[in-house]
Structures are given as C-alpha cells and as structure tokens.
Homo-oligomer: A and B are copies of this chain.
Amino acid sequence: MNIYDVSRKAGVSIATVSRVLNGSPNVSDRTRNLVLEVMDELGYTPNVFARGLGLGTIQTIGIMCSDSSDPYLAHAIYYLEQGLRGHGYDSILCCTGNSLENKQKYFNLLRSKKVDALILAGSKFIGMKPQDNDYIIEAAGELPVMLVNGFLEGRNIYCTLCDDRSATHEAAGRLISSGCRNILYLYTSQSYSGLGKLHGYQDALSGCGLPVREDYIRQCPKDVLAARDLLMKLHDSGLCFDAVMTSDDTLAVGAVKYAHATKRSIPDELSIIGYNNSSYAVCTDPELTSIDSKIEALCTTTINTLMGVFNGSNVPSRTTIAADLIKRATTKF
C-alpha cells in the first residue's frame, strides 16, 4: 500500500497525491477531496522513511535528560511530550545519566535521526566546566538547542529559566522576618540553577545583615534518608539552626524526619522550606512549604519558543519565569 495505489485508484498522478499529503495549495478542491476519500477508503498512511528521505527531515524533536525517573524530570518529559505532540511533533527521549560521554553519544544519535531540534531538560545538563558544554555549542551549530531550566550562552541556544535566585531570596527573607536567624541551606548539586538558588539565599542573609557562614551551606545526595542523617550529624556536632532551606523537596522531607527524630517541633523550633513543590510536599506532617519551580510553564514556554524559532519569529534567547512560594505548614509565615 503506497502512494501509487492511491494515485491509481483516484485516477491522478502520484505528484497530486503527494501534494494533498503535504497540503499544497496547488490542488483543486475537487481532486483534493477525491484523493482524501480514496486515502481514507484504503486506510493509507504515508511511509515515514520515504517521506523523511524526500523532505530531509521529519517532525521530531530530540529530548535529552539525565534520568527520566526523577520526579521533576518525569514531569518535564510529560509536559514536553504532550506539548510537542500538540504541535504535531514527535519526540525521541534519551536518558544520558550524568556521563559526558553519553551526552555526546546520544547527541550524535539524535543528530543521525535528523531531529529538528534538541531539548535538554534539567539544569544538570550544563556542566560547570565550560569545555563540558562544547558539544552543546557544537549541536547548536546544526539545530536549535533548547535548555529547560539550564543556562548557556550561544548562538541558536534558547534558555527557559525559573528565577530561582529571587525565589530563594524571598523565601529566606520570609524566614528571617519570621524570626529565624540560623538558616541551614542544603543543596544536591552544583548546577546552574543550584547556584542560583544558593545565591538567592545568600542575598537574603547579607541583605538583612546576617553573616553567610560556610558551615551552614551543605551538599547532600538527593535522598530523604541521607538528608535526615546529615542533619542528625550536624545536630550532634552542636551546630545550631532554626530553619532549613533545601534545593529539593526530597531533602526537605529528610529535614522533617530529622525534626521528628529529635522531637523538635515544626515550625516553632524549626522551619523548613523545600523546592519544586513536588508530590512529596504533602506527604509529610506538617506539610512542606515549598517553592514551585513552575515546571509546566517552563516546558510550554520552551515549546512556544521553539515553534517561534521554527517559523522564523524573533524570539528571545532567554526567558525567565517567576517561581511561586507555596505556603504550607513547615514555616511560621
């Protein structure tokens, strides 16, 4: 079943069939309808490969992420996939882990599949060492590269970012206003967005004349129990803190567990603020105050920008979206 079958049955040439397939205006309504009918009757579907060969590309976008099972990225993938499909694009997903080698390998793979653009989801995608990002710059030489919650400057690179820095700035400010003086900051990784969050926290402290102490800023694996244990250790070591801010809800859940274990009351003795406003936020008692990083908005904006790029609109290479502070019960405000 191919284009010839349709053309034969409709009594037209394959060129005409191809034209209606591609929505060309150079077909009379009569023939168009005729061909459409025949296609329907025959249940004809054009062969993607032949189409791709002829057109040099097919409507698909490559999505790369470090780990699709991470809740944050899982949501991103969901919104991206749905959004792209809404615009008539398919997506190919590649999970790279954090290995640079994989990233390059999968980039080549996607390139060989002639994807029309690359979407890199998650701040983990941008390495801290500039040379780790060379492959992205290189990729951008061939096709548009969209970063979801990551930042990198370069031609043909478009970033959609959450204003993490303002968000943690505001959140920390609220903690301070509500009486907290020793705010611990826990983060999972040194990504671009991770740094932004940290800076916001630091901004707030120095803005209020509080000292920014290195031992109040701690890295921790993205794991509930690891966070709890780290806090227990800090507690035992005599460090005083009356609030914990985290770069991820996972760590904040660990903080709640720490408070339970040490019988510190939340929020009276310990305030806690998470990040991402994920489904973890309502799992704890009391429920987590958390910063909503607007993943859905990030994804839809990314896709809109991409569509803009495709049809030659003048789109900004960088869009920032404001985060929301979702107040629940682990803070006094």
Contact = CB atoms under 8 A, between A and B. Distances in A.
Interface string A73-87: 011011001100100
A221 interface: no
Contacts of A52: 48-49, 52
Contact of A45 (B75, B91, B108, B284): B108
A67 B79 CA distance: 10
A46 to B, nearest CB: 7
A58 interface: yes
Per assembly, the copies of the chain total 2
A248 to B, nearest CB: 12
Nearest to A55: B49
A97 B174 CA distance: 39
A83 to B, nearest CB: 11
A70 B109 CA distance: 27
Interface of A: 45-53, 58, 67-71, 74-75, 77-78, 81-82, 85, 90-95, 108-109, 111-114, 224-225, 250, 253, 256-257, 260-261, 279-280, 282-285
Given A250-B279, A280-B280, 17 more contacts: A47-B53, A48-B49, A48-B112, A48-B114, A49-B52, A49-B53, A68-B81, A69-B74, A69-B78, A70-B74, A81-B94, A85-B94, A91-B92, A257-B283, A283-B284, A284-B284, A285-B285
5 closest A-B pairs by CB? A49-B52, A74-B74, A69-B78, A49-B53, A45-B112
